[in-house]
Structures are given as structure tokens and as C-alpha cells.
Amino acid sequence: MISSGPDLTPAPSADAFCWRDPDDDRPRLECGVFAVWNVEDASAVTALGLHALQHRGQEACGIASFDGMLFHTERHMGLVGDAFSGSNLVHRLPGRYAMGHTRYATAGASVLRNVQPMFADLDIGGIAIAHNGNLTNFRTLHRQLVAEGSIFQSTSDSEVILHLIARSRKGVMVDRFIDALSRIEGGYALIALTNGCLIGARDPLGIRPLVLGDLNGQPVLASETCALDTIGARFVRDVEHGEVVVISDKHTVQSLRPFPAGRARPCLFEYVYFSRPDSVVNGRSVYDVRKRMGANLARETGVVADVVVPVPDSGVPAALGYAQESGLPYELGIIRSHYMGRTFIQPTQSVRELGVRMKHSPNRAVLEGKRVVLIDDSIVRGTTSLKIVRMVREAGAREVHLRSASPPIMWPDFYGIDMPDRDHLLAACHTMAEMRARLEVDSLGFLSVGGLYDAMGAGRRDPINPQYTDHYFTGDYPTRLLDREIAEGRNEPVEQRELSLLVSA
């Protein structure tokens, strides 16, 4: 039987809980996954791939490797560069097979026991899994599995998948993996490393991204193409919605489609905010889409002004598009610091008031006396936007016109994006006039849903069968939300008889 190597990370301490600025209302990224098969120094290559995906999760990271006999795992709180630096990495995590994960908690607390990859020794061998996304029936499955005798070591929805694999009666690991997929709901990109193969899977709607690459003839799986570029791999194709790919020495890459084919609905927020601008997601350049979003924003919400200024870094491509379309000069009126660690600012109100100036500094030479069009990628609660507006005004701006390169965020997400409840979403609770007053701007504008679809090259939004997952703007959720329905009394939990059918094949 394959056994796990030691977990070299220390026991959780008080610092294991990542402190978050309560006044920072940026949408929280989900997670990033990466894996390589049969390459030299696989763990070091995986660390490089995870570093390229650091923007998708900055709370914790982990790597699992397989040396042909044993699995080895390391999981850490903090950044990839801090956790997996040093020349001894390939000695700590040996083997030609490895996978990794960067994490931001969307289900489960931010503690070491919830960090991925998660490993289990099963009766047919070891398996490590990593997951990007969120299961919308996690609490229902968790409650059912505990009632059946499962013992959980974490509060992460990813561990549910391990338990479903372990309890399946299928004889082959790939079949057990597919059996588990048939029981979960939501948006996900999954990778699993076993003693015989590497498995990748994407949810039936393709909400969360996953790509297949080639590194000197050997397969690579990653959340984004930017990770392939970092390690010098060639992009092969997207893993398609509902597809399971099995990578092994015997078959190289085998494609399985165990579920009925449906229409894909990728997440629009990958283009609005999450993905790195140098990535290509579902065949579209994120950078190009964001520039078109900015151009459409200028057409829809143009205003007489002197200068276009992005809120760095995610507002930069849209601001470029806005400036080019409007004919206004583009200037770096706000400079972002990339060196502020989370431990530098202490969670006291008096210091937090200065926090925005540590992340963003005004360029007075650009702002003073100007009518400024301020471009941001999105507005969630508005707390960060208000701080930046005040900072720009204090630097001497004569007028501030705030523009969002996405439509108003009206509804929370349940597929891997950590957004506030609807009661805390600015656009869901206030009229345009009220938002303008609260944000202290001279004018406020948002890109329309139609403008966003046009920037995607999708034409008009199909109201019956939307081309993308866009519920945060429209309220049109692409799947049922079982846990939420049960919590609100709109759906009764399954009976014990159905439970037995659910957790056993």
C-alpha cells in the first residue's frame, strides 16, 4: 500500500489565522491548482507554477509529490515563495509527479488543517486532491457522511470529495473519482494525484477554469495559462466542461465524458477580475477583453474630463481601453505598493484609516487640478472605493468621476468567490444617486451587462440560456443551491433511505 510521507509543517499557531483587513472589500479570489506528470524535479516545477497562480489565493499553499513508492506532502500558511523556497525542496518533496494548490478560504476556516492538497490512504492506494471552486451541496453531503460514520479532519468542502471517493464501491480509482463527481454540485476544477495516474476534472458548466499544457512532451494541468508560460510549457487546450482527463504513462492523456453533455457557462468574473491579464481563458485573452470592457464603458458612460486614471492593478487594462476610446490621456495617478505584508498593519481602527495609503499612493502631479475619470474593475461594498476617492480629492483633483468596468454587483456568489451577503452589496441596497453620494463622487457609472457580453464577443445575452455564469449581476444562478435552499426552508434534506443510496454505489 502507498503511504504518505511526513507533513513537515508545524502545528497551527495563532498566526495560522490569516488576518484580513475588514475595510478591504475587493472580491476574494478562489484558489489555484497546478500539476505535472513525469518531469524532473516535479515539486520545484510545481512551486513555480503555483507562484504564477499566487493571485488566485494568498492565504495558504501546499504541494504533494509521488516518488514511485511514497507520497510526500507539505502544507503551509502564507505565500508560495515563503513556503517553498530553498534548494532542498526536491529532497523534501521528491519524485517526478507532483501537484499543488494556492488557497483563499471560501469554505472552511483559514487554518492549516484546511490547506490543500488533501491526502488519504485508501484500500486501493493513495490519493491527493486539490480543488478550485465551491460545492453548493457541501453542507448537505457533510451532514449525511457524518451520519454514516465518516470522520472529518477539516471543515473544507474538498474533504467531502475524498470521503465520497473512499466510500465508493468501484474497483478502480478513476471510477471512484467519477462516482464522487456524480454526487457533488457547484463550480469546480479538480485535480487528483494517485500512484498510477493524474486526474483532472471540470464541472459540467465549466464555471471554474482548467487548462491542459505540454512541458517537453509531458502533460501539465493548471488553472490558468499564465502558469504554463512561467514554466515554459505549451498550451494544448482547455479541459472542457464536464470532462475528466486521465494522465498516465500508459495512455498519456485520456479524455472521458461521464456525464450528459450540456451548454458551457464559464464564469464572467474570471475576465472581470480573477484571472491574470496575460492569461487566455476559454480561448479569450483576458487583457483584450478587459480593454474592450473599458472601451464600452467609455461609450456608455463618457464624461467631460482631463485624465483617465486606473485603480491598480486590475483596473489598468480597462482604463487603457477607456482612454483610447474617449481620446483622454491615460496617466498613472495612483501608484500601488507591492511590498506591504499583511503583518505590517495592525488591526486597529486608527491605523486602518491609513491603510489605503500604504497600498495606494496618489501621484499629485497627475491629479492636482484635474477632472479625473477613475476606473476600477468592480465595486462590491464601496469601502475601498470611498477611501481611494477621498485620497484622490486630497491630492488636489477638481472632480472625480468613478467608473466600474463591470455591471453593478447585485447578488452573492456560491461557486468559489467570497462575496458579502446581498445586504452588504452596495448596488443591491442603494439607488445610483445614493451610491454616488455615499462614494462622494461627481458622477458614477457602471458597464452594462450588454456591454460586458459585447466585450466578450458574445453578442447579446441570451435570457433563456445565458452564455456565461453572470448571477452576481443578474441573479440568474446556473445551478440549484441545495445548501442555501435547505437553510431557507425551501428544500427538505434527503431521507435516510436516499442517503444510503447517495453515499454508497
Q: Is 192 left (phi over 0), alpha (psi -120 to 50) or beta?
A: beta
Q: In the structure grid, which three cell numbers stand for residue 116, read together? A: 490543500
Report CA-CA distances (Å) from 295 to 97, 284, 332: 44, 17, 18
CB 332 within 8 A of CB 361: no
Decide if 31 is catalytic: yes
CB 208 within 8 A of CB 415: yes
Strand partners, 280: 285
Q: What sign does the dihedral 467-468-471-474 (CA atoms) show?
A: negative
What phi, psi does 327 have (nearest 5°)?
Answer: 80, 10
Q: Distance between CA 295 and CA 290 in Å, rounded?
A: 9
Q: Which listed residue (31, 61, 197, 267) is catalytic?
A: 31
CB 34 within 8 A of CB 211: no
- The DSSP output letter for 297 is H
Q: Distance between CA 61 and CA 80 in Å, rounded?
A: 6
Strand partners, 310: 375
Q: In the structure grid, which three cell numbers stand for residue 89, read together? A: 525542496
CB 30 within 8 A of CB 106: yes
- Show the CA angle centred on residue 410, arms to residues 405 and 414, nearest 5°: 105
Catalytic residue IDs: 31
